Amino acid sequence: MAKRRSDTNVHESFADVALMMLGMFVFLLVTILITARVSEQRELPRLKEQVRTLQQQLNSAQGDKQRLAKDLQDIVEDTPEAQLDKILKAASLGRKDFDLFIKGLDRIPGDDVHLIVDATGSMHSVSGFLIPILRVIFARSGKRLDAITWFSDYNAETYVGSMGEMFDQLMKGAPFSGSLETIGKAFRVAEQNAPPPAAYILIGDEPSNDTIEYSDIPSPVFTLALGASDPATLEDYSRTARKTGGLMLVTEFK
């Protein structure tokens, strides 16, 4: 009799434990569901805002795509002269100045050119139309652009590739900020990162702040001082061209 009572107690204890575990499981399940519901309610506004933002970005991208398609269609339909006139008009640049630059390029030896571009803050105002004009210049001059090196505040970087790729990299990578015209550093970086070209073209608007080792530059330098440059800039660019066997190309953006 005592043994059966003991067996019954054991079964009852197991049943109580099982019932307790079931209760705990139900409690945890309910807690998880409630927590998930609360979290969902909190996340829903944020998710809706993200969807709205993505939709705005998509609409903007579609608009950019349409504008790009129109621009490409205009380029296809326009003659080279019409394309040039549009760029010059947007840049407020006279055709006379442009033709002077073209004639100067004709005097550069060889076929390949390495551009050295001032990317300090003083060039920021011209950076927007500098690239389109350079594209047309090289397309019409017959010169091949092999590399571009920008310089600013003792920083310099060289890009190689197709002309389009290099100009895109220049606009994305060049800071167009800072105040130190470290032209000497630019030529050292250019020589390290690209083979010597037939000629370098240096484009900027202020004299160098560091030392230029003219004898170490492997190719002649053709310099172009942009804008209403001061006498110090003109003298510095003229000296660089003269000491490397190049030529100073003088023109103004009016």
pLDDT, averaged per 10 consecutive residues of the chain (254 residues), comes to 51 61 70 69 69 73 59 52 59 54 73 93 76 73 89 95 88 89 96 96 92 96 79 92 89 48
pLDDT (0 to 100) of residue 252: 45
Q: How far is CA 96 from CA 110, 191, 237, in A?
A: 25, 33, 22
pLDDT (0 to 100) of residue 41: 64
pLDDT (0 to 100) of residue 54: 73
**Where exactly are the structural domains of the chain?**
1-77, 92-250
pLDDT (0 to 100) of residue 238: 92
Main-chain phi, psi angles of 113, to 5 degrees: -135, 145
pLDDT (0 to 100) of residue 118: 94
Do the beta carbons of residue 197 and residue 114 sit within 8 Å? yes
pLDDT (0 to 100) of residue 253: 45
Separation of alpha carbons 56 and 226, rounded Å: 40
Contacts 24+ apart (CB under 8 A), 110-113: 110/197, 110/198, 110/199, 111/142, 111/143, 111/144, 111/198, 112/143, 112/144, 112/145, 112/146, 112/197, 112/198, 113/138, 113/143, 113/144, 113/145, 113/146, 113/197, 113/198, 113/199, 113/200, 113/201
Topology classification of domain 92-250: Rossmann fold (3.40.50)
Pairing of strands 144-152, 155-160: antiparallel
